[in-house]
Amino acid sequence: MSRPRSPHLRADWKLSLPAPVAASVDLMLYDPLAQKPRYGARSLLVAALLKRWMAEQNGDPLPPVPNVGELRNAEQ
């Protein structure tokens, strides 16, 4: 079954992070069956954190950030 289309346009960003931070995040999002972080989990995490940061800057109610379990089981 194919993945449903997202109603939003996508923008590709290339980010450089300190290696210890990137390694810690990858370990938290690690999928033992695929032997790598779950597909799309990094993007979901960064998008959620940026949405929360933007809401904080605007004084809006803060949206939730997915926990590790939700990111590991994310279906994209």
Q: How confident is the model at residue 75 (pLDDT cuts 50, 70, 90)?
A: low
User: What percentage of the chain exceeds 90 in pLDDT?
Assistant: 47
Token pair 């004084």 in the structure block, residue = 59
Q: Could you read off the pLDDT of 37-60 as tens digits, one per residue?
A: 888 899 999 999 999 999 999 999
**b or e along 4-40 (b: 16 or more beta carbons within 10 Å of the residue's beta carbon)?**
eeeeeeeeeeeeeeeeeeeeebeeebeeeeeeebbee
Q: Residue 43 class from Cβ within 10 Å (0-12 exposed, 13-18 middle, 19+ buried)?
A: middle
pTM (predicted TM-score): 0.77
Q: How confident is the model at residue 74 (pLDDT cuts 50, 70, 90)?
A: low
What are the DSSP calls for 41-65, one per residue? HHHHHHHHHHHHHHHHHHTPPPPP-
User: pLDDT: is 73 or 24 the higher one?
Assistant: 24
pLDDT, the chain, mean:
87
